[in-house]
Amino acid sequence: MIRLQVERLDAGWAHDAVRDPRAGAICCFEGTTREVHEGRPVASLAYEAYQGMAEREMAAIVAEARRRFPGLVRMCLAHRLGEVPLAEASVLVAASAPHRAEAFEACRFAIDALKASVPIWKKESYRDGGDARWVVNREARGAGETPAAADGREAGAPATEGLRQRDEARGGGAHR
């Protein structure tokens, strides 16, 4: 099960989504907005996504987790879009399996893969009054190569249109 949503994420929902009588273990990860990043006081985060591509990437992560972890019973990936206040969940990953080791490993694989490959961008706003900025995900493919500026976008701003064109050229079609 995958989900992108503007509404607040509910860890109980993710836990229940992977509950199954075949599973003896459920592992859940909840990533939340922290109050300090690189020494700066964070007020909130805002997430944007290329939704069609993000959903396909998330589905591919679940498929790959099933291939890597044959005992995986169920998996849930959910990411919040829009503004996320301090201490609220930005991302949820839940995995169930017959035994804890496989549930832990599948959960870890899924969050790492999500952060590396899913086209979701994060903008930080700060309590110190400084300018909000797009933050490069260190785990992302090409991290450190902040996309910018040829088309007038601010450094690090989402390259949604470029991704849409690339995706359509690959046969991904039009999306929301």
Domain architecture of the chain: domains with CATH: 2-169 (3.90.1170.40)
What is the pLDDT averaged over residues 58-85?
A: 98
pLDDT score at 26: 98
3-state secondary structure of 64: helix
Residue type, 172: G
User: Taking 80 as the threshold, does the pLDDT of residue 27 lie above it?
Assistant: yes
User: Taking 90 as the threshold, does the pLDDT of residue 66 lie above it?
Assistant: yes
What is the pLDDT averaged over residues 82-96?
A: 97
Distance CA 121, CA 157 (A): 8
pLDDT score at 130: 86
What is the pLDDT averaged over residues 132-161?
A: 57
Q: What helix, strand, coil percent values describe the chain, rounded to 5?
A: 30, 30, 40
Query: For the whole model, what pTM was predicted?
Result: 0.81
User: Taking 70 as the threshold, does the pLDDT of residue 147 lie above it?
Assistant: no
Alpha carbon 31 to chain centroid distance? 9
Measured between alpha carbons, how far is residue 50 from residues 33, 117, 150, 163 in Å?
Answer: 21, 12, 19, 8
User: Taking 70 as the threshold, does the pLDDT of residue 88 lie above it?
Assistant: yes
Where do the H-state alpha helices sit in 89-133?
Answer: 100-117
The four Cα atoms 29, 31, 84, 151 give a dihedral, to 10 degrees, of -120
